[in-house]
Structure 1
Amino acid sequence: MAHIDYYFATLSPFTYFAGTRLEEIAAKHDATIAYKPLDILALFARTGGTPPGDRHPNRIAYRAQELTRNAKKTGMPFNLRPTHWPTNMAPSSYAVIAAQEAGGGDLGKLVHAILRSCWADDKDVADDAVIGDCLEEAGFDRGLSFTGMLTGAEIYPRNLEEAIDRGAFGVPTYAVGDQLFWGQDRLDDLDAHLAGTL
């Protein structure tokens, strides 16, 4: 059985545009997924990247065009300038980690609900009530945002170190063995790889 390690950030618009395609691809190939939220700003700092707000104006302008085009291609609702971005990614990341440890719900739905809250619903994903609503929507106990904080705080930095060790430098990154697929626009390649054609 194939296994996918999924490195992502709960504030990444490109992770948002992946929607639930990863989960569909995994189901198609009977693959398992380990959800590994991480601090994307720390990943940039460690691997030579530049935070979006510090980039050259040309890169900032191109990013805005790319995001707008992605919204049109996917048909997903999207706010280019959400009120609560950037915000603290740790609370929502801890919740995902706690939910994965607890089991019983739909992790893909949880991740997408958190991302949708930021990029479509203009909510603050650092807010406990917003996180609780996302947990509940995905079939988890909304209290995990509190009870899972210690576990989340332990695993969250480990996810970053693991991602760097695996060769990741951006999100979303999908890792299958020694093969990395960076970006939601590489999901077709991941699908082909799992099918044995790439």
Structure 2
Amino acid sequence: MSKTIQYFLAPQSPWTYLGHERFVAIARAAGARVDVKPFDVGRVFAASGGLPLAKRAPQRQAYRLVELARWSQHLNIPLNAQPAFFPVPADPSAKLIIAARTALGGDAALDLASAVMRAQWADDKNISDDAVLAQIANSCGFDGAMLVKSAQTAGVQAEYDSNTNDALAANVFGAPWYVVDGEGYWGQDRLDFVERALQKP
């Protein structure tokens, strides 16, 4: 019987971006089902003692840039650690991914998430702009205008809120966060452990 992975993602997170393609490949190789759950990481930070980047100590901010460069080089994934549009409101892109999952399924949502994060972290796009989001969705072969409109509905907002409540209930405190068999794994650098968990009977 295939396993289900709860994937709590924040599209404005460079760490989610760096791990996304590897995570999707691991999940598909294991035949696992991915429950794509974009969530409000700001609400989770507020509840769990996390600080937004601008409020972190200078040495923490500086080391973050060093680590992002290291991981980008190690994984051979293009990344601009200081993009033109950052910090950026993440609600529009997160809700777009939810709209894609609702209308088109989990695989479409994963593909769109990949394109959105690449636009943010490699292509210097503003992922809070509806026109940009529509273009990104179109580039994936989806109806961008339809998804942007759907993303603004009360139903999608309710699911976004529900995902965030689920994250709080699962003791999530950062992104990306993966849950396998009830056990949480924080960060793209824990993907080896996620892969091992998927191999357990």
Match of 1:196 among 190, 197, 200: 200
Q: Is the CA contact 2:98–2:109 (under 8 Å) kept in the aligned structure 1?
A: no
Aligned amino acid, residue 144 of structure 1: L
Secondary structure of the equivalent of 2:20?
coil
Residue 178 of structure 1 deviates from its aligned partner by 1.4
CA displacement, residues 113-136 of structure 1 (integer Å, 9 cap, x when unaligned): 111111110010011122112222
Q: How many residues are treated as equivalent by the alignment?
A: 197
Question: Runs of 4 or more off by more than 6 Å in structure 1?
Answer: none
Matched, 1:160 2:161: no
CA distance in 2, matches of 1:37, 1:77: 23
Q: Kindly report which structure 2 residues correspond to 1:2-151, keeping only aligned pairs within 5 A, or say none.
A: 2-103=3-104, 106-142=108-144, 143-150=146-153, 151=155
SS of alignment partner, residue 25 of structure 1: helix
Aligned-residue sequence identity (percent) comes to 36
Q: Deviations over 1:9-28 (max 9, x none)?
A: 11000001013111111111
State the Cα deviation string for residues 94-131 of structure 1 (Å, max 9, x = none): 11011000016622221111111111100100111221
| More off after superposition, 21-30 vs 147-156 | 147-156
* Deviations 1:13-72, CA, capped at 9 Å, x for gaps: 000101311111111111101111111121111111111110011111111111111111
AA matched with 1:193: A
Give the TM-score, by structure 1 length.
Answer: 0.94
Q: Aligned-residue CA RMSD in angstroms?
A: 1.4
Q: C-alpha separation between the residues in 1 aligned to 2:102 and 2:53?
A: 31
- Say yes or no: does 1:184 pair with 2:185: no
Alignment partners' CA distance in 2, 1:57 and 1:46 = 23
Please tell me whether the aligned partners of residues 67 and 80 of structure 1 are also in contact (alpha carbons under 8 angstroms).
yes
Q: Which runs of 5+ in 2 are unaligned?
A: none
Partner Cα separation in structure 2 for residue 147 and residue 36 of structure 1? 17
Task: Please say if residues 150 and 156 of structure 2, whose CA atoms lie closer than 8 Å, have aligned partners that are also in contact.
Answer: no
